[in-house]
Structure formats: C-alpha cells, structure tokens
C-alpha cells in the first residue's frame, strides 16, 4: 500500500504540473454512475470481466460511481517533451462496499518514446469485443498494477533503405503488487519486443516475444527470496543462485513464463483486418513448441467509414490450454529404474509452486478471463484449479442510428480441471451479453443498458442487467 501511495503522489504532482502548462492541455473528465443487478449470487461473466476489477464478483446488487480524468494523447511529431497522465477512482456501494484508486499514471513522452510510472489500463482492442483484449497475458480483466518502465508509443520505423519496411515496438516494465498474496512484496518483470515487416502495400507481418518473471518477495514457507542481487538472473532466464529456492536452482530463477506473438494486418481502404496467433509457454517444453496445440487464435475486422453501419466491427477468438506439453512431468514409469524419466508436461499455466497466488491482481486473472482463481479461506488467491480448457468467442458491434450503438458478446467454453486433478466430466459454460448505448444529441450525456445471461457449471447460472449514465466534460 505504501508503494501505491508514493506512486499516486508522484503521478498527481506530475498532473498538477501539467495543468499549469496551457489550457489546451486541460484533461477530459468523465463522471459515471453504474447500477447492476444479478439474479444469482455471482455476477454474470460479461458483467464483471474485462472491467479492470471494479466489480465484486459475489454481490448481486452493486451501485458504482466513477470519476475519470485523462490528458490528451502525446503528439510524436512534436520535437519536445510532453506529459500525459490519467486517473480513475471508483466507489462501490454493495454488501462489500469499497473505494478503489483504479488508475493513476503519468508518462513523459518524447517523439515515439516514453518513460512510465503508475497503474494504467491496456488500450482497448477491437472496440471492446475481444475475450482477451487481444492478449492472453494482459487484458483489462484485473485492476491494473503499478509499474515503472519505458518503451515506444507505437511501432518505430527504421529510416533508410530496405530497412524502412521494418519497424519495432518495445516495452520494459517492473510491476509492483499491492494486493494480498501468498508471497508478499513480490515483483513482476515484463519485457516485450515486436518487429513488423510491411511485405505488401497495406499488408503487415508482426512477430514478437513477450516475457514475464515473478521474482523476489517473502514466502511464508521459504522466507526471503533473493531480490535485486539476482535481478540479472531473473531477466535473462538463468539458473537461480546459491541463496535461491531449490526449485530455482534446479530450473531457472523465479517464475518464468511468456508467449510468442504473431499477427498479419491488412489496412484496406474500407476494411481493417487483423489475424493473430499467440502461443504461451511456462518452460523449455513450451518454448520448443511441444505444447503447440495451446494458445490463442483470433480474427478482428473493422469497417472504416464515416457513416454508421449496422455492423461495424467483429472479433472471433478460439483459445485452447489442454495440451500443456503432455500429461507427465519428470515421471518415472519403471520403479526398478529410478534414472528413467519421461515427460516435460503438466505445464499448469499461470501457476507456480513458489508464487502460489498465480497470475492475478487483486484475485482476478490478469489475462484470459476464463481462468478463474480459487480463493482460500484467508481471501487470498491460491492459483487456478482449472487450467485445461478450450473456448470460442464472438463479439460484434454496429449502429442502429447515428446516436445508438449496439454490442454483443457470446462465449462458450469447456473446462477439464488440471492434470492429476481432472473433473469427473468436463464442465460446459455459456455466457452471452448485449448492450445498447445512446449518445444524447447536443449534450455531453451517454446512456448505456446491458443485459447478460450465464448457463453452466463454472459460475452460477442466471441473468444480470446494468444501467450506465455517463457525463463527459
């Protein structure tokens, strides 16, 4: 909590400094009210997922009040330092009333580069229609974690000769956890590099590597885990040092995981297409594609027009995590031959023997929302009891008139438990939702109404409804 307060103070100081620059840099301000009701004890999937963790999953009635403040985007064509910042505060009235400082961030931008500090949500992908927000590891499903880092604001082009067909996008971050976790004061390292190649006019191929590492902290069973003194080991994937837990000395330092990123984009005159594949890995077997069936496959389409078409955008995604490099990991099938081992499987995605809370922020999965953490009696995540699943998802949006926008989401999945702890039979899950938004003419008001329905054995089955009132200054 101390880290959060210090970061928030520094960000607010930067924001106040930005206010004093020019009137043209004055931020946009949004005030919003949300009223939500559910027929079941749990909130329907598409009411609570990808909402930055502002809803309580167990309250059947919730009233929220939100205040958002966001600066103008930086202009990379301007050859001077620019400041951008944002804030989102949310108050919730329910059986578990709460106040959250959801976002608080500031960035110093120069041309296409930035230095970042604070907790910032991910850019919305595909008009908010995606199950994953276009990223298996980092959607907007959980409350954003505070971080410090640097990177590029967009793809940075090489300037000369044949290299001008290439561009790169890069970020380097250190995240800090403020929530209650099994390992206290743990950190999360992240770096990503994408290289884009324009192979035809309006056609682009992007290939990238996304790397994450849980490191440091204090474990209730292992005590203090090496921190900055082993930082180079963590970020380079080396074996743990002499003072590291035995699992790190036998494998690599920290909890190392990541994904390969591949996409093809067509920026046509009237239609924008993106085809993407993301392959996740937890260890060497995944890096070597022994779990090749697992990952995310997606298509995003957006119509580029100044009119208001009935169908404007669509996202279709399929995800699978059942293979996990096979059923066995270091298995000894012959009791008389203890040296004979088979298998590098049971990858058990987003979980770890040391960092047992898993890939969560405030008890919500930070990436794929179909991974739902198990919560212990102390209210702390114990990881995921179901990591083997497949799911298919479709989201669509369009306009009924120039003032009325519609969206729909449909997700179907099957869940199998974990290797060694399989369900007796797969659990099926269906979640659907629809939303209508009305832009009140000649005013700053928006009204949105949403209904949702869940059916299956993963969460409680039932209906939900939500009404949002938004005023934008």
Residue 276's domain is classified under what CATH number? 2.40.160.130
Contact, 35 vs 448, CB < 8 A? no
Mean of all residue pLDDT scores within the chain: 90
Q: Give CA separation, 325 vs 21, 56, 223, 287, 389, in Å.
A: 55, 35, 31, 10, 14
Give, in order, the Cα–Cα distances in Å from 36 to each of 13, 23, 94, 205: 35, 37, 10, 42
pLDDT tens digits along 200-225: 989 999 999 999 999 999 999 999 99
Please tell me the pTM assigned to this model.
Answer: 0.90
The percentage of the chain sitting over the pLDDT mark of 90, rounded to a whole number, equals: 75
The H or E element that residue 425 is part of is strand 421-439
- Note whether residue 225 is domain-resident: no
426-467 confidence digits (pLDDT tens):
999 999 999 999 999 999 999 999 999 999 998 889 999 999
Task: Tell me how many domains the chain contains.
Answer: 1
pLDDT at 295: 97
**Is residue 14 in some structural domain?**
no
Show the beta-strand stretches assigned E in 304-401. 313-320, 329-331, 342-344, 360-361, 364-365, 389-401
Separation CA 393–CA 410 (nearest Å) = 6
Judge whether 224 lies within some domain.
no
- The reported pLDDT for the residue numbered 156 is 78
The boundaries of the domain holding residue 135 are: 28-216+254-472
pLDDT in tens, 253-276: 999 999 999 999 999 989 999 999
Average pLDDT rounded to a whole number, residues 92-121? 94
- Does 176 have pLDDT greater than 50? yes
Task: Tell me whether residue 162 is in a domain.
Answer: yes
Half-sphere exposure of 229 toward its Cβ, with a 13 Å CA cutoff? 9
pLDDT at 19: 47
Residue 62, C-beta contacts closer than 8 angstroms, at least 6 positions apart: 34, 35, 36, 43, 55, 56, 92, 93, 94
pLDDT digits (tens, 9 = 90+) for 353-373: 999 999 999 999 999 999 999
Per-residue DSSP letter, 443: S
Residue 130 has pLDDT above 60, yes or no: yes
Q: Does 194 have pLDDT greater than 90?
A: yes
356 in helix, strand or coil? coil
Q: What is the pLDDT of residues 34-83, one digit of tens each?
A: 999 999 888 999 999 999 999 998 899 999 999 999 997 767 667 788 99
Neighbour count for residue 31 (Cβ, 10 Å): 14
- Pairing mode of beta strands 166-176, 156-157: antiparallel
Q: Do 59 and 48 form a contact (C-beta atoms < 8 A)?
A: no
Is there a domain that residue 114 lies in? yes
Residue 76 lies in a domain: yes
236 assigned to some structural domain: no
Domain presence at residue 240: no
Please classify residue 133 by burial: count the beta carbons closer than 10 Å to its beta carbon, then call 0-12 exposed, 13-18 middle and 19+ buried.
buried
């Amino acid at each position: 909590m101390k880290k959060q307060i210090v970061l928030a103070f520094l960000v607010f100081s930067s924001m106040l400094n930005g206010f004093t620059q020019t009137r043209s840099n004055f931020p946009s301000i949004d005030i919003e009210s949300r009223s939500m009701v559910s027929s079941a004890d749990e909130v329907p999937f598409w009411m609570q997922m990808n909402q930055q963790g502002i809803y309580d999953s167990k309250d059947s009635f919730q009233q929220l009040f939100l205040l958002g403040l966001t600066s103008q985007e930086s202009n990379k064509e301007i050859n001077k330092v620019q400041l951008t910042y944002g804030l989102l505060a949310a108050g919730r009235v329910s059986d578990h009333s709460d106040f959250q400082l959801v976002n608080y961030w500031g960035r110093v931008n120069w041309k296409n580069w930035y230095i970042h500090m604070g907790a910032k949500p991910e850019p919305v992908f595909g008009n908010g229609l995606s199950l994953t927000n276009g990223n298996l590891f980092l959607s907007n499903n959980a409350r954003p974690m505070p971080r410090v880092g640097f990177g590029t604001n967009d793809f940075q082009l090489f300037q000369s000769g044949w290299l001008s067909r290439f561009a790169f996008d890069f970020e380097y971050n250190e995240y800090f956890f403020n929530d209650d976790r099994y390992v206290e004061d743990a950190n999360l390292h992240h770096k990503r590099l994408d290289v884009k190649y324009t192979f035809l006019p309006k056609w682009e191929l992007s290939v990238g590597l996304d790397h994450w590492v849980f490191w440091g902290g204090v474990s209730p069973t292992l005590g203090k885990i090496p921190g900055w003194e082993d930082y180079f080991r963590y970020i380079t994937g080396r074996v743990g040092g002499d003072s590291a837990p035995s699992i790190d000395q036998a494998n690599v330092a920290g909890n190392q995981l990541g994904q390969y990123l591949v996409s093809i984009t067509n920026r046509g005159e009237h239609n924008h297409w993106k085809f993407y594949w993301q392959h996740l890995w937890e260890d060497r077997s995944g890096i070597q594609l022994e779990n090749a069936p697992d990952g995310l496959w997606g298509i995003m389409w957006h119509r580029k027009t100044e009119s208001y078409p009935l169908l404007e955008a669509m996202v279709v995604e399929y995800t699978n995590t059942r293979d996990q490099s096979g059923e066995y990991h270091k298995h000894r099938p012959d009791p008389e031959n203890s040296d004979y081992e088979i298998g590098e499987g049971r990858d058990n995605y987003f979980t770890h023997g040391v960092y047992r809370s898993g890939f969560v922020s405030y008890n919500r999965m930070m990436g794929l929302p179909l991974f739902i953490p198990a919560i212990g009696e102390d209210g702390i995540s114990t990881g995921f009891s179901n990591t083997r699943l497949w799911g298919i998802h479709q989201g669509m949006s369009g306009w009924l008139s120039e003032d009325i926008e519609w969206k729909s989401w449909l997700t179907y999945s099957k869940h199998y438990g974990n290797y060694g702890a399989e369900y007796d039979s797969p659990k099926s899950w269906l979640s659907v939702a629809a939303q209508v938004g009305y832009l009140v003419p000649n005013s700053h008001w928006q009204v949105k109404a949403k209904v949702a329905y869940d059916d299956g054995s993963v969460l409680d089955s039932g209906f939900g409804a939500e009404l949002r009132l938004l005023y934008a200054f």
